[in-house]
Structure 1
Amino acid sequence: MSYTFEELYVGLKAEYRKTVTETDVVLFAGLTGDNNPMHIDEEFASATRFGGRIIHGMLTSALLSSVIGMKLPGPGCIYMGQNLRFLKPVKIGDTVTALAEVIELIPEKQRVRLGTYCLVRGEKVLDGDALVWVPRQG
């Protein structure tokens, strides 16, 4: 799905769901170089306040890119900025629902502000907003 600027309206929503696996965490660590033991060393992480490994916060937030780039507004849009607040840890095996909702249209610049958040078992684990440029019709 792809929306042009004219097709967007405040309240329009889309989501992407993903169960985060061990492989996802290892690949993300390898890709980014973030080998923090909180993410890759169970012995270390089990001695922390989280009681075990947690996935990279930026891996959680990257799921928002799937919603924005592929669904709302979708292919052709340009991701311009993102504010994030990490609220709760996400663990390997959790299913994350990444959501985006149109909260503001800025016609003179073909931009849209999206409310962005991620849920695990119905609880918000990440909150934020994004600014995206969207092509016009034709």
Structure 2
Amino acid sequence: MTIQQIKVGDFASTKKVFLEEDVLKFAEVSTDYNPAHVDKEYPKQTMFKKQIVHGMLVGSLFSAIFGVQLPGLGSIYTKQSLKFTRPVYFGDEIEATCSVKEIIVDRNRVIFDCVAKNQNGEVVIVGESEIMPPRETKNA
């Protein structure tokens, strides 16, 4: 979608269940082998008591929305803030939603509110994104 096609209030969502294999693949790609994520014993001595999913892995759901849904193909991610409000555990189903907050036509930028919630409706991430939509519509 181009900036002319987007309206304040437009939104898109995606859902994913996070599994141990996702975390191990992300650790390999990111080189983040923090034992809170990849060790079965270490988290027992932390406030989480069991392994947690990398926050940035969960936050990547927002990128998936921007790249293929809203605005979609041809979009450029220019800015992101994230606040991690609750842990995500293996087996949690997370729904990420991005909603258009502001449109800056002269800069070709769209500001989105980003929220991710677990299967219990609890917010796990809040943030804000700035996206540069494509100048023309791309077809898949």
Q: Which runs of 5+ in 1 are unaligned?
A: none
- 8 Å contact from structure 2 (residues 53, 88) kept in 1: yes
Residue number in structure 1 paired with 2:122: 123
Residues in 2 aligned to 1:91 and 1:109: alpha-carbon distance in whole angstroms? 39
Q: With structure 2 as the length reference, what TM-score do the two structures score? A: 0.94
The answer to whether the 8 A contact 2:35-2:43 is kept is yes
Question: For the residues of structure 2 that align with 1:5 and 1:117, how far apart are their CA atoms?
Answer: 22
Summarize the alignment of residues 1-138 of structure 1 with structure 2, pairs less than 5 Å apart: 3-121=1-119, 122-137=121-136
Q: Can you give the 5+ residue segments of structure 2 that lack an aligned partner in the other structure?
A: none
State the Cα RMSD in Å: 1.0
Q: Is the 8 A contact 1:6 1:136 kept in 2?
A: no
State TM-score, norm by structure 1.
0.95
Query: Which structure 1 residue ranges, 4+ long, deviate > 4 Å from structure 2?
Result: none
- The share of aligned pairs that are identical, in percent, is 38
Give 3-state SS (helix, strand or coil) of 1:49's partner.
coil
How many residues get paired?
136
